Structure 1
Amino acid sequence: MLRFLLLITMGMTTLLLSQASLSNDANSQYTTIDWTDLIPEHDLEALKNPPAYLDEIEDGSEADQLSGQLSSDQFADKDDPYQRALASTDIKAEYNNQLVRVSGFIVPLEFDDEQVVTRFFFVPFFGACIHVPPPPPNQIIYSKFDKGIQLKVLYDPFWIEGKLVTELIENSVAKSAYTMEVHNIEPYTEPPSQSN
């Protein structure tokens, strides 16, 4: 399950953001970032190089099923860099108070009778915090959007733009190492490809 979770996280991030640019769009005040930009290098290296024992866990086995029921805090074996990275609240301080644009999925936390969502976790892949254990806290953005967005389905990806802050937020669903005061939300579309 851990191996599956890592593959989903990295695969969806790559798929969704393969065309994203790290530089500012000429017409935008927001810097487009990739989810991996929010992970400190030591955590990213640990996640890219999972320990060999994960290969020994058979898909569908009891160990695999148990790992799917654990929260990221329960992964935090202090002697294992990979397990530490799964629960890491380490952040990239250079993104504090920056205007950024990132794509991902909405996990609703607060909404009204009309399903207008005003508080949500923004995550890199569909099903995070719902069907599988949450991503590492440095891969979750607690988002506030007072205007709200009416969600018809949970599996649609979005772009969000706003001011990113390095602030730890925890609730019964998950823990995030970043927050954002969201200025704009729009349906995800592939960014224009850059010609060389």
Structure 2
Amino acid sequence: MGTRTWRSLKASVLSLAIVLGISGCDPSKPDKDNQGGQSEHSASVDELASKLATHANRQARTNELLTFSDGSHLDTGDYQLIEWADLIPQDDLAALLNPPAYLTSIEDGSPEDQIASTIQSAMAANQAANQLEAQADMPQVDPYEQALISTNIIEAMNGKGVRIPGFVVPLEYNEQQVITSFFFVPFFGACIHLPPPPPNQIIFVEAERGFTLENLYEPIWISGTLATELFEDQLATAAYTMTLAYIERYDG
């Protein structure tokens, strides 16, 4: 809000308060008795004007939020439709599509699943120890486990305008639930209820204007320019970042 607008707002509120104050005054009382009341009126006017200004600024910011696009920007051809598999190198994709036998033959959530997790942790610890002790050849690394943490990217995606569907994992947001930065992931619950996907299946996005979502479990489309830059957060690591241009509701 500009200085002129602030002064006009304060002057209007002050004039109203003065009129109300005069109409309620008792002319039989000396001016000295009313000095305290006038000071209180002045303080109240300043407080009210400040609250109105804060509300106006907040409303202005709300009006500037990023809104869902109607898809008309797609006619420009600036954003190529891609799938998540397009962001992952062929070797990593092949490894993820061929998990170890002990993972494909057990049921999720079963005791065997818990045991498998324990085995994987033990294997990881053993690999770390072997790497420290190795004097010549490096120990064999399981391709599947390596693909789960891979930061390998597709170089051709750097600077490319893309459109991709997925789910939002908020990183920064305010009291009004306005999201200003987030991870974009291929499935709901990633990084929250479920382990994060590989870094090359996570896009870090900043939205300076911010936006709101009614439900995080609903997928959306995002369009923008990709960069092959690593972004690390305590929640997960992203191998891609995006300069966001548009968001759209996902209709299938």
Q: TM-score, normalised by structure 2?
A: 0.60
Correspondence for 2:183 among 92, 96, 121: 121
Percent identical residues:
54
2:104 is equivalent to residue 42 of structure 1: no
2:121 is equivalent to residue 59 of structure 1: no
- Structure with larger RCO (C-alpha < 8 A, sep 6+): 1
Distance in 2 of aligned mates of 1:27 and 1:63: 52
For the pair shown, the structure with the greater C-alpha radius of gyration is 2
Higher strand share: 1
Deviation at 1:62, TM superposition (A): 4.3
Correspondence for 1:155 among 217, 221, 234: 217
In the other structure, the counterpart of 1:10 is none
Distance in 2 of aligned mates of 1:154 and 1:60: 24
Correspondence for 1:112 among 136, 149, 174: 174
For the aligned residue pairs, the C-alpha RMSD in angstroms reads: 2.3
In the other structure, the counterpart of 1:28 is 77
In the other structure, the counterpart of 1:145 is 207
2:192 is equivalent to residue 130 of structure 1: yes
Change (3 A) 1:59 1:157: closer
In the other structure, the counterpart of 2:228 is 166
Deviation at 1:54, TM superposition (A): 1.2
Higher helix share: 2
Structure 1, residues 106-127: CA drift from partner, whole Å, max 9, x if none?
0000011110101000000111
Consecutive aligned runs of 4 or more in structure 1 exceeding 6 Å deviation: none
Q: TM-score, normalised by structure 1?
A: 0.76
Deviation at 1:57, TM superposition (A): 3.9
5+ unaligned residues in a row in structure 1: which ranges? 1-24, 191-196
Distance in 2 of aligned mates of 1:41 and 1:133: 22
In the other structure, the counterpart of 2:143 is 81
5+ unaligned residues in a row in structure 2: which ranges? 1-73, 128-139
Deviation at 1:59, TM superposition (A): 3.1
